[in-house]
Homo-oligomer: A and B are copies of this chain.
């Protein structure tokens, strides 16, 4: 699937391209956001841009005018009922050779809009009121640990590329990833939640992994409806012992891998937020 719209620095140009000197290309020196559009509105836009802002701060990227990014996303979403937006922000074109940024770079922004993927539609229609269950395995690759990059949705995604290749080869919906020291981290394109004795657990993301917006929404909504939830250091034993497992991302919302009552309760709680997005 290719996007039906690409904006580069706000402009829709004939051959959408970025400079061959862009530090996003050379070093993966940038960040991205994947956002779902429902009924012409971007789900959790404020949370996405807040994360982007925080990421820019941590990488020392001056992302400039966040209001312009906000308005662009709102405008582009309005034209579609249901879609996916991908926003890439890089440090911009290199002003010098080598890894070190000079501080004079000007951010490059790429906004891509995709039609809502068909597989997900099929999944949603699979059962009346009974959520389908994802087929999930454990990836053979482990994630490197680096606190300086942990949590960020940055552009260094080769680990996810290799794990996704394995996922495709094994014909599964998702693979779970452990870190080099054996911690459970996430899926290749999702965050993971476990249920242990009526308590919701999700991996702490202080060494690696992406702090997903849907993960944040689930933690927030769990607190709202009185479900005990915790970010923890989890290992293979915790995964095996979980009575329920579900995965989250912007597109899936909550998708169970080992279904149970707490998953269904949380799914019901966030459904209205997904179906009727607020502004931001």
Give A contacts to B, CB under 8 Å: 1-3, 6, 8, 15-29, 32, 59-60, 84, 86, 88, 90, 94-101, 110, 112, 114, 117, 141-146, 148-149, 154-165, 167-168, 180-181, 188-189, 207-208
Contacts and interface: CB of A to CB of B under 8 A. Distances in A.
Contact of A20 (B8, B97, B154, B160): B8
Contacts of A27: 28, 155-158, 160-161
B1 A97 contact: yes
B18 A155 contact: no
A58 to B, nearest CB: 9
Given A97-B1, A141-B148, A208-B144, A161 B29 contact: yes
A168 B1 CA distance: 42
Nearest to A31: B158
A22 B159 CA distance: 17
Nearest to A95: B2
Given A17-B17, A117-B97, A26 B155 contact: yes
A19 B20 contact: no
A157 B100 contact: no
Contact of A145 (B28, B144, B188): B144
A178 B159 CA distance: 20
A32 B54 CA distance: 29
Contact of A25 (B22, B95, B141, B164): B22
A262 to B, nearest CB: 29
A110 B180 contact: no
A21 B15 CA distance: 11
Contacts of A16: 19-21
A158 B164 contact: no
A146 B155 contact: no
A21 B164 CA distance: 18
Contacts of A157: 26-29, 99, 156
A94 B60 CA distance: 28
Contacts of A162: 59, 148-149
Contacts of A18: 17-18, 20, 22, 25
A100 B28 contact: no
Contacts of A25: 18, 22, 24-25, 88, 90, 110, 155
Nearest to A110: B20
